[in-house]
Structure 1
Amino acid sequence: MFLRQSEKTAIIYKNEVVSYNLLLKTITQYSTLFDESKTTKIAIYLENRPEWVYAFYSGMMTSSILVPIDFMLPSDDVAYILNDCTPEVIFYSNETEARVNEALSLTNHIILKINVDEINLGQISCETRDLASYNDDDVFSIIYTSGTTGKPKGVMLTFANIESNIYGTTKYVEIYKERSRTLVLLPLHHILPLGGTVLMPLYVGGTIVFSPSLLSEDVIFTLQNHKINIIVSVPRFYSLIRKGIKEKIDANKIASILFKIAEKRKSRNFSRKVFKKVHEKFGGEIETFVCGGAKLDENVARDFQTLGFEVLEGYGMTETSPMITFTRPGRVKIGSPGEIFPGMEVKFEDGEILTRGTNLMKGYYNKIAETNEAVVDGWLHTGDLGHLDEDGFLFVTGRKKELIVLSNGKNITPEEVELKLLAVDEITEEVGVYMEKDQLFAIIYPNSVKAKAAEITDLYEYYRWEVISKYNEKSPSYRRISNFIIIDEPLPRTRLSKLKRFLLPEIGKGNAIKKEKKEADLNFEEYKIIKDFLIKEKEKEVFPSDHFEMDLALDSLDKITFLSFLSSTFGVELYEEHLVKYNTVEQMSIFIKEHKTKINIETIDWKAIFKETVNLNLPKSWITLNLFKNWFRLIFMLYFKIKAEGLEKLPNGPFIIAPNHQSFFDGLFVTIFIKNKVMKQTYFYAKKKHLGNKFLNFIANKNNVIVVDINNDLKMSLQKMAAVLKSGKNMIIFPEGTRSVNGELGDYKKTFAILSSELNIPIIPVAIGGAYKALPKGSLIPRPFKKICVRFLEPINPEGHSYDSLTNEVYSKVASELKC
Structure 2
Amino acid sequence: MFLKNYNKTALKWKDQKIRYADLLREAVYFAKLFPDTAERVLIFSENRPEWIYSFLGSWKNNCTVIPVDYLSTVEEVIYIVNDCLPDVVFCSREREKLFRSVIESIDHTPLLLVYEDVGTAGNTSEEVVEGIDFAKKSLNDTALIIYTSGTTGDPKGVMLSYENVMANVEAVSIGVPIYSIDERVMLLLPLHHIFPLLGSMVAPLSVGATIAMSPSLQPQDIISTLQNNQVTIIIGVPRLYKTICKGVMDKINQKKIARLLFFIAEKAGSQGFSRMIFKAVHQKFGGKLKYLVCGGAALDPDVGSNFMTLGFEILEGFGMTEAAPMISFTRPGQVTIGSAGTAMSCTSIEIRDGEIVASGKNIMQGYLNRPEETAEVLKDGWLYTGDLGHLDEKGRLFITGRRKEIIVLASGKNINPVLVEQKLESLTDCINEVGVFVKDDILQAVIQPDFQKVRAREITELDDFFRWKIIDAYNKTVSPSKRILKFTLIDEELPKTRLSKLRRFQLPDLVGKRAARKSDARQPDFEEYLIIKGFIEEQSKREIFPDDHLEIDIAMDSLDQVSLLAFLKSTFGVELSEEKLMAHQTVRRLSEFIQEKKEKISVELVNWKDILKEKVDLTLPRTWITANVFRTCSKLFFKGYFRFKGEGQENIPDTPCIIAPNHQSFYDGLFVASLLKQNFFKNTYFYAKRKHVNNPLIRFLADRNNVIVVDLNSGLKESIQKLAEVLKKGKNIMIFPEGTRSMDGTLGDFKKLFAILSMELNVPVVPVTINGAYQALPVGTLFPRPLRQVSVRFQQPVFPEGHTYDSLTETVYQQVRGGLS
User: What CA distance in whole angstroms lies between the structure 2 residues aligned with 1:770 and 1:116?
Assistant: 75
Task: State the Cα deviation string for residues 289-342 of structure 1 (Å, max 9, x = none).
Answer: 111111111222222222222222111111111112222223323222122222
Which of 359, 362, 372 lines up with 2:362 in the alignment? 359
Q: Is structure 2 residue 402 aligned with structure 1 residue 403?
A: no
Q: Which residue of 2 aligns with 1:338?
A: 341
**Matched residue count:** 817
Q: CA deviation at 1:378?
A: 3.1
Of 498-507 and 805-814, deviating more is 805-814
Which of 712, 721, 724 lines up with 2:723 in the alignment? 721
Residue 310 of structure 2 aligns with an amino acid whose one-letter code is L
Which of 756, 761, 766 lines up with 1:764 in the alignment? 766
Q: Is structure 2 residue 510 aligned with structure 1 residue 511?
A: no
Q: Is structure 2 residue 215 aligned with structure 1 residue 216?
A: no
Please list, as runs of the form range in 1=range in 2, the aligned pairs for 1:343-492 lying within 5 A after superposition. 343-492=346-495
Q: CA deviation at 1:665?
A: 3.0
Check whether the contact 1:28–1:127 (CA below 8 A) recurs between aligned residues: no
Q: Is structure 2 residue 753 aligned with structure 1 residue 751?
A: yes
Check whether the contact 2:187–2:211 (CA below 8 A) recurs between aligned residues: yes
Task: State the Cα deviation string for residues 480-532 of structure 1 (Å, max 9, x = none).
Answer: 11111111111111111011111100112272353245315x12343333333
Residue 457 of structure 1 aligns with an amino acid whose one-letter code is T
User: What CA distance in whole angstroms lies between the structure 1 residues aligned with 2:694 and 2:166?
Assistant: 62
User: What CA distance in whole angstroms lies between the structure 2 residues aligned with 1:695 and 1:68?
Assistant: 61
Residue 442 of structure 2 aligns with an amino acid whose one-letter code is Q
Q: Which residue of 1 aligns with 2:153?
A: 150
Q: Which residue of 2 aligns with 1:542?
A: 544
Secondary structure of 2:656's match?
coil
Task: State the Cα deviation string for residues 576-616 of structure 1 (Å, max 9, x = none).
Answer: 34422222111122233344455554433323333333333
Task: State the Cα deviation string for residues 419-478 of structure 1 (Å, max 9, x = none).
Answer: 111111111110000012222111001111221122112211111122112211222221
User: What CA distance in whole angstroms lies between the structure 2 residues aligned with 1:339 and 1:703?
Assistant: 61
Q: CA deviation at 1:630?
A: 3.1
Q: Which residue of 2 aligns with 1:17?
A: 17
Task: State the Cα deviation string for residues 730-755 of structure 1 (Å, max 9, x = none).
Answer: 21111122233333333221111222
User: What CA distance in whole angstroms lies between the structure 2 residues aligned with 1:529 and 1:197?
Assistant: 53
User: What CA distance in whole angstroms lies between the structure 2 residues aligned with 1:231 and 1:580?
Assistant: 35
Secondary structure of 1:432's match?
strand
Secondary structure of 2:763's match?
coil
User: What CA distance in whole angstroms lies between the structure 1 residues aligned with 2:34 and 2:594?
Assistant: 55
Q: Is structure 2 residue 228 aligned with structure 1 residue 229?
A: no
- Closer/same/farther in 2, CA of residues 317 and 706 from structure 1, 3 Å limit: closer
- Closer/same/farther in 2, CA of residues 367 and 270 from structure 1, 3 Å limit: same
Q: Which residue of 1 aligns with 2:92?
A: 93
Secondary structure of 1:228's match?
coil
Q: Is structure 2 residue 555 aligned with structure 1 residue 530?
A: no
Task: State the Cα deviation string for residues 31-74 of structure 1 (Å, max 9, x = none).
Answer: 222222x3212111222122211111111111111111111212
Residue 804 of structure 2 aligns with an amino acid whose one-letter code is S
Task: State the Cα deviation string for residues 145-179 of structure 1 (Å, max 9, x = none).
Answer: 11222322211110111121112111112211121
Residue 55 of structure 1 aligns with an amino acid whose one-letter code is S
Q: Which residue of 2 aligns with 1:797?
A: 799
Q: Which residue of 2 aligns with 1:603?
A: 605
Secondary structure of 1:170's match?
helix
Of 700-709 and 370-379, deviating more is 700-709
Check whether the contact 1:28–1:129 (CA below 8 A) recurs between aligned residues: no
Task: State the Cα deviation string for residues 372-430 of structure 1 (Å, max 9, x = none).
Answer: 33323333332222222232222222122211112222110111111111111111110
Q: Is structure 2 residue 32 aligned with structure 1 residue 32?
A: yes
Of 510-519 and 540-549, deviating more is 510-519
Secondary structure of 2:606's match?
coil
User: What CA distance in whole angstroms lies between the structure 2 residues aligned with 1:510 and 1:812?
Assistant: 38
Task: State the Cα deviation string for residues 230-270 of structure 1 (Å, max 9, x = none).
Answer: 11111111111122222222222222233233323322223
Q: Which residue of 2 aligns with 1:115?
A: 114
Any stretches of 5+ residues in structure 2 without a counterpart? none
Check whether the contact 1:25–1:129 (CA below 8 A) recurs between aligned residues: no
Secondary structure of 1:95's match?
helix
Q: Which residue of 2 aligns with 1:166?
A: 169
Residue 32 of structure 2 aligns with an amino acid whose one-letter code is T
User: What CA distance in whole angstroms lies between the structure 2 residues aligned with 1:129 and 1:103?
Assistant: 38
User: What CA distance in whole angstroms lies between the structure 2 residues aligned with 1:686 and 1:346?
Assistant: 58
Q: Which residue of 2 aligns with 1:60?
A: 59
User: What CA distance in whole angstroms lies between the structure 1 residues aligned with 2:805 and 2:747?
Assistant: 19
Residue 54 of structure 1 aligns with an amino acid whose one-letter code is Y
Q: Which residue of 2 aligns with 1:650?
A: 652
Q: Is structure 2 residue 80 aligned with structure 1 residue 81?
A: yes
Of 158-167 and 717-726, deviating more is 717-726
Secondary structure of 1:401's match?
helix
Of 309-318 and 690-699, deviating more is 690-699
Secondary structure of 1:203's match?
helix
Q: Which residue of 1 aligns with 2:736?
A: 734
Q: CA deviation at 1:219?
A: 1.1
Task: State the Cα deviation string for residues 176-222 of structure 1 (Å, max 9, x = none).
Answer: 11211111111111111111111111111111111121111111122
Q: Which runs of 4+ in 1 moved over 6 A?
A: 693-698
User: What CA distance in whole angstroms lies between the structure 2 residues aligned with 1:50 and 1:3?
Assistant: 16
User: What CA distance in whole angstroms lies between the structure 2 residues aligned with 1:660 and 1:107?
Assistant: 68
Residue 606 of structure 1 aligns with an amino acid whose one-letter code is W
- Closer/same/farther in 2, CA of residues 559 and 337 from structure 1, 3 Å limit: same
Of 576-585 and 415-424, deviating more is 576-585
Of 173-182 and 90-99, deviating more is 90-99
- Closer/same/farther in 2, CA of residues 513 and 491 from structure 1, 3 Å limit: farther
Q: Which residue of 1 aligns with 2:6?
A: 6
Check whether the contact 2:421–2:435 (CA below 8 A) recurs between aligned residues: yes
User: What CA distance in whole angstroms lies between the structure 2 residues aligned with 1:657 and 1:645?
Assistant: 14
Secondary structure of 1:604's match?
coil
Check whether the contact 2:2–2:131 (CA below 8 A) recurs between aligned residues: no
Please list, as runs of the form range in 1=range in 2, the aligned pairs for 1:569-580 lying within 5 A after superposition. 569-580=571-582
User: What CA distance in whole angstroms lies between the structure 1 residues aligned with 2:714 and 2:335?
Assistant: 46
Q: CA deviation at 1:661?
A: 2.1
Q: Structure 2 length normalisation: TM-score?
A: 0.94
Q: Which residue of 2 aligns with 1:131?
A: 132
- Closer/same/farther in 2, CA of residues 553 and 31 from structure 1, 3 Å limit: same
User: What CA distance in whole angstroms lies between the structure 2 residues aligned with 1:335 and 1:575?
Assistant: 43
- Closer/same/farther in 2, CA of residues 188 and 757 from structure 1, 3 Å limit: same
User: What CA distance in whole angstroms lies between the structure 1 residues aligned with 2:346 and 2:786?
Assistant: 67
Which of 194, 197, 202 lines up with 2:200 in the alignment? 197
Any stretches of 5+ residues in structure 1 without a counterpart? none
Check whether the contact 1:29–1:126 (CA below 8 A) recurs between aligned residues: no
Q: Which residue of 2 aligns with 1:323?
A: 326
Residue 169 of structure 1 aligns with an amino acid whose one-letter code is V
User: What CA distance in whole angstroms lies between the structure 2 residues aligned with 1:605 and 1:11?
Assistant: 64
Q: Which residue of 2 aligns with 1:613?
A: 615
User: What CA distance in whole angstroms lies between the structure 1 residues aligned with 2:489 and 2:382?
Assistant: 41
User: What CA distance in whole angstroms lies between the structure 2 residues aligned with 1:461 and 1:563?
Assistant: 24
User: What CA distance in whole angstroms lies between the structure 2 residues aligned with 1:358 and 1:692?
Assistant: 59
Residue 71 of structure 1 aligns with an amino acid whose one-letter code is Y
- Closer/same/farther in 2, CA of residues 536 and 255 from structure 1, 3 Å limit: same
User: What CA distance in whole angstroms lies between the structure 2 residues aligned with 1:693 and 1:369?
Assistant: 64
